[in-house]
Amino acid sequence: MKNLSKQPSSRTCFLCGKQNDDGLKMEWYNNLETGQVEGTIRIPEQFNGYPGIAHGGIVAAIMDETMGRAVMIDGDFDNLFVTLKLEMTYRNFTPTNTPLKAVAWIVRRGSRGVRVAGELRLSDGTVTAEGAALVVRPPEEVSRRWEPERPFWKVY
Q: What is the pLDDT of residues 36-53, one digit of tens each?
A: 999 999 999 999 999 999
DSSP secondary structure, 92-115, as one string: S--BSSSEEEEEEEEEEE-SS-EE
pLDDT of 15 above 70? yes
Residues 137, 43: Cα–Cα separation, whole Å? 29
pLDDT of 3 above 90? no
Q: What is the pLDDT of residues 120-145, one digit of tens each?
A: 999 999 999 999 999 999 999 999 99
What's the pLDDT score for residue 2? 65
What's the pLDDT score for residue 79? 85
151-142-10-83 Cα dihedral, nearest 10 degrees = -140
What's the pLDDT score for residue 138? 94
SS3 for 138?
A: coil
> What is the model's pTM?
0.95
Which domains does the chain possess?
27-147 (3.10.129.10)
SS3 for 6?
A: strand
Q: What is the pLDDT of residues 66-113, one digit of tens each?
A: 999 999 999 999 889 999 999 999 999 999 999 999 999 999 999 999
